[in-house]
């Protein structure tokens, strides 16, 4: 394959929309192996102006474009240069789409280096051209210029082709077999590699099929209590953080932070006295090390496990990949006993080897399933975790993952032939052997809901980002049911997919019984139960449709009555409407049918157990029967609570108009009692930490929400000097959010502020429609000042947007939801934070509405405290280091006009607050950022 001549192509454009955007530069190179043979490069004059973000991205001078030819003047030269050679490019589909829009045609083979790289480099962290070039040592000095990108794509293709030839014959053969099922364009490359390898086969040893990378590594020994019951020495903990302690000796220039030391001592005391601790530690305290040090010392001394739970992947990554390895090095340097740490995720994150091999053998594979299998095949030899986040699945390949991941329903546990090398059970065993186990809140609550079957046993718990615990617990403890879920249940039992194709438990059971000679009397009883179930399954399908049609119509009636919220909360009065009567009857019918199915499944389960056989197929059948029987019971009970009402649950229907789907949901009215009795009361140590847990210096609200009534409280100020570093400005002459002119004021204020600050701005919104409206309105005026505008949900992922703000500070970034937390931009690139509106929860949200009813004064006792916590999170985005300076502008005058406004301000770190006319703000911002008097 290295002797063939290919042509690599790249275009730069005014944007990403075909039919709207235009080519501004095109380049192509011919190449053989790693040798570039010839080059073609032209600028192209577009009809529209080039957006600032494109000029920034490409560095193409608009003046040079004004002198360039139109595409029709260079198209014929380009076509001649390309000829009929095979085409190569990175995400080449886009480039060819733009060229086809100019009338060009391509009938030759096309190879996408992006696609090839996702197969051959399964563990790359990014598949952008520049990231791949850096990883493979290909120089890429001038990214986003067409010629350079085309040359790098050519080099990348050559390197990947060489890698392909390094695959063993068995792997190449299997890949070609899978590709032949779907006609993947890359297939002929792999076939050619296979032919070349086959020609040289006698020179190579025969390789075994790929197996998990560390299948044979010895297992760590589970943690054993040491019997050492001495308490932690609080002074020794303090000394750990002193400049001449382990930190100071490891990190030159290390400075002790008194709040961090205070927190570490409090955490150690919480371990010693088993009293829960709630600690609010302001930004910059260094709270993760403040709990990791005592946790690791306690765990190693006693041989006991400490579970650390976070809400975000960012913090999980930081703990597991940075802080914990740092601390392990510090322990080693200080001569302290080593400690082990593990990261444990939910089941669905891990590859199930049994399902992988089953799917590989399947005859009916979709394109996405084949692509996922190809990627997994090349990933298996290198992964030690089987963790899905290492695997570059894109778009609908991700749906294929649901047929490959670990699920309770399909796992046969110790009876599985892959149990020993199973990634999930290896991760669990690693957690059992670890002193520190990092998990997320969702897994923590899933463990609680599954009666501690998910995590290894533990007595000591640290919850970071604890302000999210109520929301995550509410989500995790909620029950959702839709029509698709019920139909899948029936399909898992029995499904006909055409004349020949039948699948599902009931169709497989007779075959499995035949394999063991019929199963005697038990086999007969199983077959009889299957026969009895057949007509019931047909009735079940009808009953499901009847029930969901009535429910959908019920929601639609509500919508027609002028309610536009897609969620309808099921209150007593809603259930008293005459139309609800028909729904209860339809549900009763469905309930009876599900009960009948559950009874027959119980018979089958009992008889399969009676067979007392241990074949793999029977084990599999037993697990599936158990799971389906449990599903039938759970659904009846829990959906019954939704239909008839239940004092402890918040129930609602959600109708998704676009997809025409209806979901029933039941969420716990309160998670406090559950968390208290099933989590905190069960643990010797419970430590909850966050930067935002108090309201005007009081923890009562959060404590009551999560059921932690009795605990030690500690509030630590940030080491940052907010009084000097930050200023809060509240304009006093603007409309309030529900008044006329408010949206226009937001738009104009952001433009004026951005011009004064030269970008460097993050604006936080509470609703995406307001964000989008603002985005559209401010683009043009800010582009006139060469300031770019980027928005969440429009211009890329959160990480990409934050990176771009850091790289191009002359920008305004607009965000909602997740941007209120976790955005971390140190330095000048973020100097102005705009909070457009106080972040009150939507009062019609079923959970908010139902929980509000628990208070005598719902607004002041529930909505205001919730909003203050979020407001504090948003505020925390501005000052991220001792050297940061910046202004927070709150464009919500209710801070001044409403009684609750002062509570918001009193909850912030000690900061200067000013009010005045909006018109004064730009001048003040400019002076403040220049370091002058404000």
Tell me the C-alpha distance between 823 and 873, whole Å.
10
What is the DSSP code (8-state) at residue 92?
H
Q: Please, which residue, 258 or 413, has the CB nearer to ligand SF4?
A: 413
Q: Is 813 left (phi over 0), alpha (psi -120 to 50) or beta?
A: beta
* Angle at 402 (CA atoms; ends 320, 395), nearest 5 degrees: 85
Kindly state the smallest distance separating residue 616's Cβ from ligand SF4, in Å: 10
Q: Please, which residue, 419 or 900, has the CB nearer to ligand SF4?
A: 419
Q: Please, which residue, 17 or 414, has the CB nearer to ligand SF4?
A: 414
Is 282 annotated as a binding-site member? yes
618 binds ligand SF4 (CB under 6 A): no
What does the H/E/C string look like for 846-892? Answer: HHHHHHHCCCCCHHHHHHHHHHHHHHHHHHCCCCCCCCCCEEEEECC
Kindly state the smallest distance separating residue 557's Cβ from ligand SF4, in Å: 45
Closest-CA residue to 777 (of 744, 801, 814): 744
Q: Please, which residue, 619 or 685, has the CB nearer to ligand SF4?
A: 619
Kindly state the smallest distance separating residue 429's Cβ from ligand SF4, in Å: 12
Give backbone dihedrals phi and psi of 220, rounded to 5 degrees, phi first.
-70, 150
Candidates 353, 706, 814, 891; binder of ligand SF4 (CB under 6 A) is: 353
Q: Is the dihedral of CA 468, 471, 477, 480 positive or negative?
A: negative
Q: Catalytic pick from 144, 435, 460, 467?
A: 144
Which tokens is 266 given?
């409090």
Q: Which stretch binds ligand SF4 (CB under 6 A): 40-48, 347-355, 548-556, 846-854?
A: 347-355
Kindly state the smallest distance separating residue 754's Cβ from ligand SF4, in Å: 52
344 binds ligand SF4 (CB under 6 A): no
Kindly state the smallest distance separating residue 426's Cβ from ligand SF4, in Å: 9
Helix (H, G, I), strand (E, B) or coil at 803: helix
The site that binds ligand SF4 (CB under 6 A) totals a number of residues, namely 13
CA atoms within 13 A on the CB side of 539: 16
263 binds ligand SF4 (CB under 6 A): no
Q: Which stretch binds ligand SF4 (CB under 6 A): 44-52, 256-264, 408-416, 543-551?
A: 408-416
Q: Which stretch binds ligand SF4 (CB under 6 A): 92-100, 226-234, 412-420, 780-788?
A: 412-420
Helix (H, G, I), strand (E, B) or coil at 59: coil
CB-based contact 325:292 (threshold 8 Å): no
Kindly state the smallest distance separating residue 432's Cβ from ligand SF4, in Å: 16
For helices 441-449 and 469-476, the axis angle rounded to 10 degrees is 50
Beta bridge partners of 688: 278, 463
406 binds ligand SF4 (CB under 6 A): yes
Kindly state the smallest distance separating residue 383's Cβ from ligand SF4, in Å: 14
CB within 8 Å of 361: residues ≥ 6 apart: none
789 binds ligand SF4 (CB under 6 A): no
590 binds ligand SF4 (CB under 6 A): no
Is 287 annotated as a binding-site member? yes
Kindly state the smallest distance separating residue 545's Cβ from ligand SF4, in Å: 33
Q: Please, which residue, 446 or 540, has the CB nearer to ligand SF4?
A: 446
Which tokens is 744 given?
């226009």
What does the DSSP assignment read for 536-602?
Answer: HHHHHHHHHHHHHHHHHHHHHHHHHTT---SEEE--HHHHTSHHHHHHHHHHHHHHHHHHHHHHHHH
* 414-473 binders of ligand SF4 (CB under 6 A): 416, 418-419, 422, 424-425
39 binds ligand SF4 (CB under 6 A): no
Candidates 30, 118, 412, 792; binder of ligand SF4 (CB under 6 A) is: 412
Q: Please, which residue, 608 or 643, has the CB nearer to ligand SF4?
A: 608
Tell me the C-alpha distance between 28 and 153, whole Å.
10
Helix (H, G, I), strand (E, B) or coil at 351: strand
Whether 144 is catalytic is yes
Q: Which stretch binds ligand SF4 (CB under 6 A): 348-356, 656-664, 812-820, 879-887?
A: 348-356
* 100-119 binders of ligand SF4 (CB under 6 A): none
Is 322 annotated as a binding-site member? no
Kindly state the smallest distance separating residue 380's Cβ from ligand SF4, in Å: 13
Is 284 annotated as a binding-site member? yes
26 binds ligand SF4 (CB under 6 A): no
Closest-CA residue to 271 (of 231, 239, 228): 231
CB-based contact 828:804 (threshold 8 Å): no
CB-based contact 814:787 (threshold 8 Å): no
388 binds ligand SF4 (CB under 6 A): no
Q: Please count the helices (runs of H) and the strands (runs of E) in the chain.
A: 39, 25
Q: Please, which residue, 353 or 590, has the CB nearer to ligand SF4?
A: 353
Is 288 annotated as a binding-site member? yes
Candidates 78, 352, 378, 632; binder of ligand SF4 (CB under 6 A) is: 352
Q: What is the CA radius of gyration of the chain?
A: 31
Candidates 42, 53, 354, 636; binder of ligand SF4 (CB under 6 A) is: 354
Q: Please, which residue, 190 or 401, has the CB nearer to ligand SF4?
A: 401
Is 822 annotated as a binding-site member? no
For helices 258-273 and 287-302, the axis angle rounded to 10 degrees is 30
Contact set with ligand SF4 (CB under 6 A) = 352-354, 406, 411-413, 416, 418-419, 422, 424-425
* Binding region: 281-288
What is the set of active-site residues? 144
Residues placed in the known binding site for ATP: 281-288
């Amino acid at each position: 394959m290295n002797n063939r001549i290919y042509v690599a192509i790249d275009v730069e454009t005014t944007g990403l929309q075909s039919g709207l955007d235009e080519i501004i530069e095109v380049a192509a190179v011919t190449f053989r192996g790693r040798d570039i043979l010839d080059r073609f490069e032209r600028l192209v004059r577009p009809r529209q102006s080039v957006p600032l973000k494109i000029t920034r991205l490409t560095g193409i001078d608009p003046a040079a474009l004004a002198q360039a030819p139109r595409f029709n003047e260079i198209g014929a030269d380009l076509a001649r240069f390309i000829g009929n050679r095979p085409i190569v490019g990175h995400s080449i589909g886009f480039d060819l789409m733009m060229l086809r829009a100019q009338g060009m045609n391509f009938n030759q083979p096309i190879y996408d280096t992006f696609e090839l790289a996702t197969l051959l480099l399964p563990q790359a962290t990014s598949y952008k051209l520049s990231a791949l070039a850096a990883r493979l040592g290909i120089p890429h000095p001038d990214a986003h210029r067409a010629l350079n990108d085309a040359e790098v794509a050519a080099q990348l293709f050559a390197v990947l082709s060489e890698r392909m030839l390094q695959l063993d014959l068995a792997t190449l053969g299997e890949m070609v077999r899978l590709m032949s099922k779907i006609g993947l364009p890359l297939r002929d490359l792999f076939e050619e590699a296979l032919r070349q390898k086959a020609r040289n086969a006698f020179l190579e040893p025969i390789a075994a099929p790929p197996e998990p990378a560390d299948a044979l590594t010895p297992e760590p020994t589970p943690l054993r209590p040491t019997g050492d019951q001495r308490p932690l020495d609080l002074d020794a903990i303090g000394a750990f953080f002193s400049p001449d302690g382990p930190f100071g000796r490891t990190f030159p220039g290390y400075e002790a932070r008194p709040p961090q030391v205070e927190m570490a001592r409090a955490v150690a005391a919480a371990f010693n006295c088993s009293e829960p601790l709630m600690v609010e530690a302001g930004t910059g305290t260094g709270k993760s090390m403040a709990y990791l040090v005592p946790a690791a010392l306690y765990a190693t001394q006693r041989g006991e496990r400490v579970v650390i739970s976070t809400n975000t992947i960012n913090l999980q990554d930081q703990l597991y990949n940075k802080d914990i390895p740092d601390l392990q090095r510090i322990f080693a340097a200080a001569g302290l006993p080593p400690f082990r740490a593990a990261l444990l995720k939910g089941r669905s994150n891990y590859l199930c080897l049994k399902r992988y091999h089953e799917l590989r053998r399947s005859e009916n594979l979709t394109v996405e399933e084949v692509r996922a299998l190809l990627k997994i095949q090349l990933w298996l030899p290198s992964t030690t975790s089987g963790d899905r986040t290492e695997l570059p699945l894109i778009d609908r390949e991700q749906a294929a993952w649901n047929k490959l991941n670990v699920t309770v329903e399909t796992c046969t546990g110790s009876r599985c032939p892959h149990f020993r090398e199973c990634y999930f059970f290896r991760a669990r065993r690693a957690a059992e052997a670890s002193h520190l186990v990092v998990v997320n809140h969702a897994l923590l609550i899933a463990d609680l809901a599954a009666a501690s079957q998910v995590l290894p046993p533990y007595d000591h718990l640290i919850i970071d980002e604890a302000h999210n615990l109520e929301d995550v617990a509410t989500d995790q403890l909620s029950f959702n049911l839709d029509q698709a879920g019920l139909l899948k249940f029936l399909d898992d039992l029995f499904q006909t997919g055409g004349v020949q194709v039948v699948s599902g438990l009931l169709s497989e059971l007779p075959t499995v019984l035949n394999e063991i000679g019929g199963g005697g009397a038990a086999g007969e009883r199983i077959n009889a139960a299957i026969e009895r179930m057949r007509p019931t399954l047909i009735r079940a399908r009808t009953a499901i449709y009847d029930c969901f049609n009535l429910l959908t119509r019920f929601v639609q009636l509500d919508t027609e009555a002028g309610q536009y919220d897609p969620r309808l909360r099921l209150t007593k009065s809603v259930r008293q409407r005459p139309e609800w009567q028909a729904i209860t009857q339809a549900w009763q019918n469905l309930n009876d049918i599900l009960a009948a199915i559950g009874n027959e499944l119980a018979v089958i389960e009992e008889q399969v157990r009676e067979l007392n056989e241990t074949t793999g197929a029977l084990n599999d059948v037993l697990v599936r029967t158990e799971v389906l029987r449990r599903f039938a019971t759970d659904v009846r009970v829990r959906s019954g609570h939704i239909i008839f009402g239940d004092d402890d649950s918040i129930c609602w229907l959600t109708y998704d108009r676009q997809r025409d789907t209806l979901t029933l949901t039941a969420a716990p009215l309160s998670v406090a009692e559950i968390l208290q009795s099933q989590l905190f009361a069960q643990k010797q140590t419970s430590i909850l930490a966050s930067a935002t847990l108090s309201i005007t210096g009081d923890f009562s609200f959060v404590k009551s929400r999560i059921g932690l009534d009795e605990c030690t409280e500690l509030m630590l100020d940030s080491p940052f000097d907010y009084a000097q570093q930050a200023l809060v400005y509240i304009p006093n002459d603007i409309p309030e959010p529900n008044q006329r002119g408010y949206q226009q004021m937001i738009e104009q204020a952001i433009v004026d502020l951005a011009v004064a600050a030269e970008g460097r701005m993050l604006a936080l919104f509470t609703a995406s429609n307001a964000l989008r409206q603002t985005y559209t309105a401010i683009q043009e005026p800010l582009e006139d000042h060469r300031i770019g505008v980027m928005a969440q949900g429009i211009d890329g992922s959160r990480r990409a947007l934050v990176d771009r703000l850091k790289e191009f500070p002359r920008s305004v970034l607009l965000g909602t939801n997740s941007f209120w937390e976790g955005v971390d931009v140190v330095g000048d690139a973020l100097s102005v934070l705009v909070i457009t509106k106080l972040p009150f929860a939507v009062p019609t949200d079923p959970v908010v509405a139902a929980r509000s009813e628990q208070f005598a004064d719902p607004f002041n006792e529930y909505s205001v405290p919730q909003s203050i916590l979020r407001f504090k999170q948003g505020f925390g985005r501005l000052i991220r280091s001792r050297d940061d300076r910046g202004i927070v502008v709150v464009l919500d005058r209710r801070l001044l006009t409403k009684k609750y406004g002062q509570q918001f301000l009193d909850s912030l770190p000690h900061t200067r607050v000013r009010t005045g006319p909006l018109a004064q703000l730009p001048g003040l911002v400019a002076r403040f950022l220049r370091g002058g008097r404000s």
